[in-house]
Amino acid sequence: MQMKSQVKIVLDAWALLALIFKEEPAAKKVRDILDQQGGSKSTIYVSWINLGEVYYNIARKKGLNAANETLEDIKKLSIRLHEPSKSDILSAAKIKSEHKLSYADAFAVSLAQKINGVIVTGDPEIILLKNFVKVEKLSRFA
């Protein structure tokens, strides 16, 4: 009997912020992914670089206390927080040099490539890379 391989999912800042700010239908999709993770059909990853992006966005909009609380809430989820190594940093830098996207987004792309995973995002710059990396598109305000 052949077992299905586990799906590896990378959430970028766009996906996490959609969840935090309840931007539907993207937020529901991210909630569903997090809920399904409990059944161990998937492993969810977030780069610390992208988590930093979430942190500063929350801090700007709601203050540092809210950003700290959000960070603690995210750390409680069944997400593997990926701390980039020197080679991960150079991989992201190479991706940034070759494609039009933010440096933080390059870390999500690099991580997805490293683990052979799919990025779940609504970020248009990453979606344009669908021939370069696996992408599952999210939408806000459908």
pLDDT of residue 5: 66
Name, in order, each residue with C-beta under 8 angstroms of 79's C-beta and a sequence gap of 6 or more: 11, 34, 44, 45, 46
Q: Quick one: pLDDT band at residue 56, thresholds 50, 70, 90?
A: very high
One-letter amino acid for residue 50 of the chain: N
Q: What is the pTM of this model?
A: 0.91
Pick the CATH number of 11-137 from 3.40.50.1010, 3.40.30.10, 3.40.50.2300, 1.10.10.10: 3.40.50.1010
pLDDT at 38 over 60: no
Terminal Cα distance for the chain, rounded = 41
For the chain, what is the mean pLDDT?
93
Q: Mean pLDDT, to the nearest integer, of 35-58?
A: 88
pLDDT of 2: 45
